[in-house]
Amino acid sequence: MPLDAFKPSGILSLGVELELQILASHNCDLTRGASDLLALIERQPHPGEIKPEITESMVEINSSIHQGFESLIAELRELRDVVVAAADKLNLRICGGGAHPFQHWEERTIYDMPRFHLLSDLYGYLAKQFTVFGQHVHIGCSGGDEALYLLHSLSRYVPHFIALTASSPFYQGVDTAFDSSRLNAVFAFPLSGRAPFVLRWNQFEDYFAKMQSLGIVASMKDFYWDIRPKPEFGTIEVRVCDTPLTVERAAAVACYIQALCRYLLVERPRPPREDDYLPYTYNRFQACRFGLDANYVDPVTSAHNTLRDDILAMLDRTSQHARELESEWAMAYLRSALRTRGNDAQWVRAAFQNTRSLNEVMREQSRRWRSDEPLLPR
């Protein structure tokens, strides 16, 4: 089956997918609950989509297509409330966070759908270890060439997205020292990493056809890239974010990505080059490991900077575009987070300092998930 034609969609339209954790109330460990939860939600009207994921301890919420912050946050809150209300009925807790801090991966069960069983057979323990929870952001593009331009231009900012959403410092019961341990689980997959450096959609189709004739991939879903094109939606999909602990942060980061894309499309600062990828894995590792305090190497100027300063600079550069998109709140949220409370990984570590118990951290995390973060005055 050849690659779908790239179906144009509204330029800079925005969609968010969030993978959520399902916990047992009594000990806050991951539990089987997706089938029960989805069966209950099926009977209720709700916007967007609520879907199963690979294991029974995970559920995914998808927003519909948005143009800016206000409608996005309203819908994400509504979706969140529908899932939380259903979970309350079933004595389950729902929360964000990129990974569960003390789950035992061997206890996970695969959700009963053919594709998930196929993946589980192929990847063995990796599939169960892949019980990690990410945020995916879709940005609409008018065509395949534009999608590839955005995809490669955004690669410079991938560390921003990682550091802003990192929320998985604990894994298998220990502090990993990483802000995002989740991405380490993703890197284990053979087709993870970045898309090949091609800027024309027909070149990309050639690449895909070659990979297909080698028998390595069947569809775009088999690539676990940090950013990948989604031709049937007409979008590029940024996949490096941990699921944040609140929908507000999820919406803010999505709108930041959207504003960056507008900046790249309108100002066309410079064409992407293959050499932009030279510091890519170094920068990505730094962002996973050190979060906002990471060292960031600029692929163009070779300047070293802290990631925090680089993000603050970009927030200033893109503020005009955010205003055009009516997403100033998102930028204000991120600016204040960078100056004060940092990212969610810092919150998780502080919660552990206070309670000395990962069970309690998860209980706090599920409380945090269900409540609104106040929207700051513009």
Partner 1 sequence: MPATPELHFLPAWPIALGHFEWFALLLLFAAVMGEVASRVLRLPKMAGYLAAGLALGPYGFAAFDAEGLAQMRIFVDIALGLLLFELGHRLDLGWLRRNPWLLVGSVLEAGMAFGAVFGALAWLGVETRYAVTAAAIGMATSPAVAVRVTAELRAQGQVTERMLTLTALNNVYAVVTMTAFLGWQHFERHGEVAALLYPLYLVCASFLLAVVGAVAVRYLLDVAGRSEEVGFLMLAGAIILLITFALAINVSMPLCLLAFGTLAKHLDPRLRAIPRPFGAAGAVFIVVLFGISGVNLDFQALPTAGLLACGYIGARQLGKWAGVLATALPSGIGLRKAALLGAALCPMSGLAMALMLEEATIAPELGSEVGAILAVAVAVLELAGPVVAHFALIAAREANPSPRS
Question: Per-residue DSSP letters for 145-169?
Answer: HHHHHHHHHHGGGHHHHHHHH--B-
Beta bridge partners of 272: none
Per DSSP bridges, beta strands 92-95 and 224-225 are unpaired
Burial class (CB in 10 A: 0-12, 13-18, 19+), 336: exposed
Angle between helices 201-213 and 144-154 (to 10 degrees): 80
Report yes or no: 56 and 111 within 8 Å, Cβ to Cβ: yes
Asked whether position 33 contacts partner 1 by CB under 8 A, the answer is: yes
Q: According to CB under 8 A, which one of 72, 86, 292, 338 is a site residue for partner 1?
A: 86
Site track for partner 1 across 315-344, x = CB under 8 A: ------------------------------
Q: Does 26 bind partner 1 (CB under 8 A)?
A: yes
Contact between 221 and partner 1 per CB under 8 A: no
Give how many residues touch partner 1 by CB under 8 A.
27
81 touches partner 1 by CB under 8 A: no
Q: What distance lies between CA 335 and its chain's CA centroid? A: 19
Question: What distance in Å separates the CA atoms of residue 166 and residue 293, rounded to the nearest whole number?
Answer: 12
User: Contact 229/220 with Cβ under 8 angstroms?
Assistant: yes
Query: Nearer to partner 1 by C-beta: 336 or 357?
Result: 357
In this structure, what are the phi and psi dihedrals at residue 367, rounded to the nearest 5 degrees?
-70, -40
Longest CA–CA span in the chain (Å) reads: 55
Among 90, 118, 191, 278, binds partner 1 (CB under 8 A): 90
Report the nearest approach of partner 1 to the CB of residue 100 (Å): 14
Q: Does 104 bind partner 1 (CB under 8 A)?
A: yes
Q: Which stretch binds partner 1 (CB under 8 A): 30-38, 187-195, 276-284, 367-375?
A: 30-38
Should residue 360 be labelled a site residue for partner 1 when binding is judged by CB under 8 A?
yes
**Is residue 58 close enough to count as binding partner 1 by CB under 8 A?**
no
Q: How far apart are CA 131 and CA 200, in angstroms?
A: 35
Residue 279, token pair as written in the block:
């510091």
Least separation in angstroms between CB 157 and partner 1:
38
Quick one: which H or E segment has residue 227?
strand 227-230
Q: Which among 20-28, 64-72, 133-141, 208-216 is the span making contact with partner 1, rule CB under 8 A?
A: 20-28
Site string for partner 1, 35-54 (x = CB under 8 A): xx--xx--------------
Q: Build a one-symbol-per-residue string for 106-125: x at contacts with partner 1 by CB under 8 A, - elsewhere.
A: xx-x--x-------------
CB of 89 to partner 1, least distance (A): 4
User: Residue 270 corresponds to which tokens in the numbers above?
Assistant: 């410079």
Chain residues binding partner 1 by CB under 8 A are 24-28, 31-33, 35-36, 39-40, 86, 88-91, 104, 106-107, 109, 112, 355, 357, 359-360, 363
